[in-house]
Structure formats: C-alpha cells, structure tokens
Amino acid sequence: MNLNCQICNRQKPLTFHHLIPKKNHRNKWFIKRFTKQEMRDKGLNLCYLCHKFIHKKFSEKDLGRKYNNLELLLSNPVVKKYAMWASKQK
C-alpha cells in the first residue's frame, strides 16, 4: 500500500479526497453518470496541503465534472506546477 500523497508523492499523513465531492452527490447530473458507490468510494489519498490546494483552486462542481480522476487533475497546468513545487517541500 502506498502511503505517499498521490499529488506530491511526499510521505505525509493522508486525507481522503472524494473525486465526486459529497456536495454533488444529490445533483441530477452526477446521479446520471455515477453510481452511489462510485460517488462515495472514488477518491485519492492526499496530504493536507495538497487537499487544501485542490479545494482552494477549484469549485466543487468543477472537481466533480472536470477533474474526477488523478490523470485529469494532474493534466491541469496549475496542479502540475503545484505538484512539482510541493514534492520539494519537507
């Protein structure tokens, strides 16, 4: 089991980031596209700083619609730049 943050790859205490934010679980758009189990279980293990960064940069709606997997998140230039910076922090 990997105990490193999935964004910065640092070994820090991890938090669970729902790729479909809980706020969106009752929204019709999400209900049509994802099962309840997917919405509940689909997520990433992130350190506190990366988790905070992701929620600061993107709305709940954008996180669920545009960035609902690790590859999509890391393809964003802002996230990619942040990940490189964060990986060098202690």
Q: Would 79 be classed as within a structural domain? A: yes
pLDDT at 62: 95
Q: What is the pLDDT of residues 24-65, one digit of tens each?
A: 888 899 889 888 898 889 999 999 999 999 999 999 999 999
| Contact assessment for residue 57 and residue 67, using Cβ atoms and an 8 Å cutoff | no
Q: Would 1 be classed as within a structural domain? A: no
Q: Would 7 be classed as within a structural domain? A: no
Q: Would 42 be classed as within a structural domain? A: yes
Q: Is the pLDDT of residue 21 over 90?
A: no
Distance, CA of 75 to CA of 25 (rounded, Å): 24
Q: Would 2 be classed as within a structural domain? A: no
Q: Which domain holds residue 26?
A: 14-87
Residues of the chain with pLDDT > 70, as a percent, come to 98
Three-state secondary structure along the chain?
CCCCCCCCCCCCCEEEEECCCHHHCCCHHHHHHCCHHHHHHCEEEEEHHHHHHHHHHCCHHHHHHHCCCHHHHHHCHHHHHHHHHHHCCC
Q: How many domains does the chain have?
A: 1
Q: Would 6 be classed as within a structural domain? A: no
- What is the model's pTM? 0.86
